[in-house]
Structure 1
Amino acid sequence: MMTHSGTSPTAAYRDGNVLRWATAYTASASGDVVFFLTLSWAVTRVAGPAQVGAVLAVGAIPRAVLMLFGGVIADRYGPRRVVIGSDFARCVIIACAAALMQFAGAGLPTLYVVALVFGVIDALFMPAVGALSGRLTDAGQLGRVQGLRVLAVRVSNAVGPLMAAIVLTAAGAAAGFGLAGLLFSLSFGLLLAVRLNWGQTAERSTRSPLGDLRDGLRYLRGNRQLARLVVVVGLSELCFSGPVGIGLVLLTAERQWSPAILGWALSVFSIGGAATGILLTVLARVPRAGFALVGALTVTAVLVGGLGQVATAGALIVGSAVLGAISGAAMAIGNALLQRTTEPRYLGRVGSVTSLCTLGLSPLLYPATALVAAAWGTGVFFAGCALVCLLAAVAAATAKALRDADL
């Protein structure tokens, strides 16, 4: 973090403040994975598999509808305060769910309520946690911070399902919700010790929340490079916020490969991304970061398109590992450039737009994923994802200021 005397900032991977945030983010992301797997498992046991999609949709709709206002709240009250408050609220709702499952034999209506409330809280949490990562240290460390964020996401995606499977098998849904609550509690405790960079404080708004939202959208429209970055990041992460994972499930079923092959493919995808996160965390700078972003997105498009055409399990596993690494690089560089280009007082609102395009709207793509795969095969679905990634690469390549950007 930059000191008042103007000395060089501590490298992000040696900054205790950043490392507390990274650990908290890993715990929170792992809690998310455990929660959604537990919720799906509980719905299946209570009402059958047909109800899982409906329950998840009940949580996804308020998350998408309220996401932009979540960004407004993060900018009005500060991302740290909103993240801590929403993490605490998640602890409470999960503890209630665990208690109801254990002692009251909660049924389907309770699970609908849990999903709905969690979706509302997520609409506050997601923009705030994105804004917080851009307010932890000096702007020159943003590449490293985003490397840590990619590492946290991919570690959570690898470890979360394993933890959930062990607990659900051994003790059931109440224990699964309890584990998710424990992870959120760990995140909450660590976030209490996280501090914002003193040099990136934002002025308190005097406008109404709707006025703040309009101001944020005007700011975004008035900054062409930033608007282009939002498009690039939104497109590049759209397929990787869930649909590609569903596509891998459908692909292994179509090829009649065993569940173990699917497990390996998903695991090495996370491991590849984690390795990239570590690399970007230790790099002092990313020269020609914009050009690297274009290259990573282009290679990602080629890899994700090729993944739908693989004929052997070995090729699927190798391709998933490489895809995880390259897509992780695109994710980290794109988000670092986005946060470096955004004024601190707009980080929540700008982040809410990208979150809406990815985490907010991606659940709507799940039915489309299954329909496309059923009608034309999974190869066509992966080709569609490749086209989306290629559009992101073109959007980045055709903006000179973005193409020539450094980190």
Structure 2
Amino acid sequence: MSEVTVALDKRVQKVPKTPSVFKEYRFVLLFLTLLVSSFSVSFFSLATNWYVVNFLGLEAMLGIVMFASSVPRLVFMLIGGVIADRVSKAWVMFISDFTKGVLLVGIIALLMFDLLAIWPLIVLAFIFGLLDAFFWPASSAILPETVKEEQLTRANSVLNMTRQASMIVGPLLAGIMLAIGGYVLIFGITAATLLIAGIIDLMMKRNMPKEERDSKQSKLGLNGGGMFASIKEGFLYVKNSSFLLALMLSAVFLNLLFSGPFMLGLPIFATHVLEGTEVTYSFLSGGIAGGMVLGSILVGVLNIKKKRGVFSIAGILALAIFCLAFSLSSSFYLNMAFVILIGAASSVANIPLLAVIQHHTEKEYLGRVMSFISFSAMGLMPISFLFTTLLLALSISIDVIMLVSASALIMVSTMIIWKGKGLRMVD
């Protein structure tokens, strides 16, 4: 064997190999609880929507149910971030999952006595949205405590893939359960899954490091500053970080230009441009979710550790280009390819940034930072929906709206690449 070969063998042996995230017991627990929680969300959404439309015959009230769940999720998201920084994150997750499970047991009782009307569902949707506002910042902020730093990108890709897979498989399973056993069965299984998630949350709390298990009141105590003072402190932390500030502005523009035209407009595009049916829409919607799964797999395999900001900006630009191509096409098969690429680009843009935030943010601020990013992403979605609706009311076709929005998104992405030095230089 030559000296060069021996030297290469030694170098290969010295290259550290990143261990599988599933060898981390705490991550396995987090994965299981998010898997169960994600499927329960899919089950609950399908069952509730179908009950309102099909059983109660109140199609017009479905928007009220969705509004009731989305508003508290948005309004209380920042408070949820503060709570996640002050108390055990696993404990916050337990309270959210367990409370949902108990509430669904009450819904089952109303169903069995034929007393379930629209208003209990609206109240339930409001409470679910409120609990989600505390659950998601906590579940995002707890990840760095379950894996090593070099595993963060891969861990985020696994969890993102899990959520997207639940969006594809969950409604299918829910439809089967609904057909077999009706509403009592599907609400019963959803309640059981949430209670199981609560048990896993408790197991995760017991296996957290001592500083996470113990109450943080002595360090960040509830008497150490008011809720709004803590939110302000978190905002100043984001403001003083060029990377986080650029990221938050990117999230604002991305959701303003993408959410309304492409999420609200997708069924309209399927009907008026592609001249399809609800099956066409379901394929396009499933294509985006499938693309997100593929993107998650790609990011997980690559396990990017350097230049993650640049990688994410490239993902945003690619997403904008694919959206532009989608708006210009009237071929179902081409548009299926484009929506898959849009979903993949979305994962490529989002997952590395989550890992960067978790890696570079001080732990005592992580819950608030994650809530600010989520708030930035969600805050302009209602405005985007409203603006798209107004343009449609002015008889502007959805393909034109998508074309203009995608073009604006390309310009914003280019501006981020040019001006967003903090985001570009991170890692």
Q: What's the TM-score, normalizing by structure 1?
A: 0.88
**228-237 vs 62-71, which deviates more?**
228-237
Q: Which residue of 2 aligns with 1:376?
A: 396
Would the aligned equivalents of 2:270 and 2:281 in 1 still touch at CA under 8 Å?
Answer: yes
Q: Which residue of 1 aligns with 2:27?
A: 18
The answer to whether 1:104 aligns with 2:114 is: yes
The answer to whether 1:188 aligns with 2:198 is: yes
Would the aligned equivalents of 2:291 and 2:340 in 1 still touch at CA under 8 Å?
Answer: yes
**299-308 vs 167-176, which deviates more?**
167-176
Q: Which residue of 1 aligns with 2:268?
A: 250
Give CA-to-partner distance per residue, 1:211-235, whole Å, 9 cap, x none. 2122112212222222222223454
Of 75, 93, 98, the residue aligned with 2:85 is: 75
Q: Gaps (5+ residues) in structure 1?
A: 1-6
- The residue type equivalent to 1:395 in the other structure is I
CA deviation after TM superposition for structure 1 residue 13, in Å: 4.2
CA distance in 1 between partners of 2:103 and 2:397 (Å): 40
CA deviation after TM superposition for structure 1 residue 89, in Å: 1.1
- The residue type equivalent to 2:43 in the other structure is V
Q: 1:10 to 1:135 in 2, by over 3 A?
A: same
Q: Gaps (5+ residues) in structure 2?
A: 1-15
Q: How does 1:307-346 map to 2 (within 5 A)?
A: 307-346=326-365
CA distance in 1 between partners of 2:200 and 2:153 (Å): 22
Q: Indicate the RMSD between aligned Cα atoms, in angstroms.
A: 2.7
The answer to whether 1:204 aligns with 2:220 is: yes
CA distance in 2 between partners of 1:389 and 1:100 (Å): 50
Q: 1:340 to 1:241 in 2, by over 3 A?
A: farther
CA deviation after TM superposition for structure 1 residue 76, in Å: 0.8
**65-74 vs 255-264, which deviates more?**
255-264
Q: How does 1:215-364 map to 2 (within 5 A)?
A: 215-236=233-254, 244-254=262-272, 255-359=274-378, 362-363=381-382
- The residue type equivalent to 1:252 in the other structure is A
Q: 1:54 to 1:208 in 2, by over 3 A?
A: same
Of 412, 418, 421, the residue aligned with 1:391 is: 412
CA distance in 1 between partners of 2:372 and 2:141 (Å): 12
CA deviation after TM superposition for structure 1 residue 51, in Å: 0.8
CA distance in 2 between partners of 1:294 and 1:8 (Å): 27
CA distance in 2 between partners of 1:21 and 1:180 (Å): 19
Q: Which residue of 2 aligns with 1:3?
A: none
Q: Which residue of 1 aligns with 2:61?
A: 51
CA deviation after TM superposition for structure 1 residue 155, in Å: 0.4
Q: Which residue of 2 aligns with 1:4?
A: none
Would the aligned equivalents of 2:265 and 2:398 in 1 still touch at CA under 8 Å?
Answer: yes
CA distance in 2 between partners of 1:130 and 1:258 (Å): 37
Q: 1:177 to 1:240 in 2, by over 3 A?
A: farther
Q: 1:52 to 1:83 in 2, by over 3 A?
A: same
Would the aligned equivalents of 1:241 and 1:358 in 2 still touch at CA under 8 Å?
Answer: no
Give CA-to-partner distance per residue, 1:303-358, whole Å, 9 cap, x none. 11221222111011111111111111111012222222211111111111122233
Q: Which residue of 2 aligns with 1:401?
A: 422
Give CA-to-partner distance per residue, 1:143-175, whole Å, 9 cap, x none. 112111221121011112212222233333333
CA distance in 1 between partners of 2:260 and 2:162 (Å): 16
Of 120, 126, 129, the residue aligned with 1:116 is: 126
CA distance in 1 between partners of 2:177 and 2:257 (Å): 29
Give CA-to-partner distance per residue, 1:356-407, whole Å, 9 cap, x none. 233455355444444434531221342355234752563355222321333x
CA distance in 2 between partners of 1:252 and 1:343 (Å): 45
CA distance in 1 between partners of 2:252 and 2:172 (Å): 29
CA deviation after TM superposition for structure 1 residue 24, in Å: 1.8
CA deviation after TM superposition for structure 1 residue 266, in Å: 2.2
Q: 1:256 to 1:366 in 2, by over 3 A?
A: same
Would the aligned equivalents of 1:200 and 1:344 in 2 still touch at CA under 8 Å?
Answer: no
The answer to whether 1:31 aligns with 2:40 is: yes
Q: 1:68 to 1:43 in 2, by over 3 A?
A: same
Would the aligned equivalents of 1:226 and 1:341 in 2 still touch at CA under 8 Å?
Answer: no
Q: Which secondary structure state, in structure 2, belongs to the residue aligned with residue 40 of structure 1?
A: helix
**342-351 vs 388-397, which deviates more?**
388-397
Q: 1:301 to 1:191 in 2, by over 3 A?
A: same
CA distance in 2 between partners of 1:11 and 1:199 (Å): 25
Would the aligned equivalents of 1:232 and 1:393 in 2 still touch at CA under 8 Å?
Answer: no
CA deviation after TM superposition for structure 1 residue 122, in Å: 1.5
CA deviation after TM superposition for structure 1 residue 20, in Å: 2.5
CA deviation after TM superposition for structure 1 residue 79, in Å: 1.7
Q: 1:118 to 1:390 in 2, by over 3 A?
A: farther
Would the aligned equivalents of 1:269 and 1:321 in 2 still touch at CA under 8 Å?
Answer: yes
Q: Which has the larger radius of gyration?
A: 2
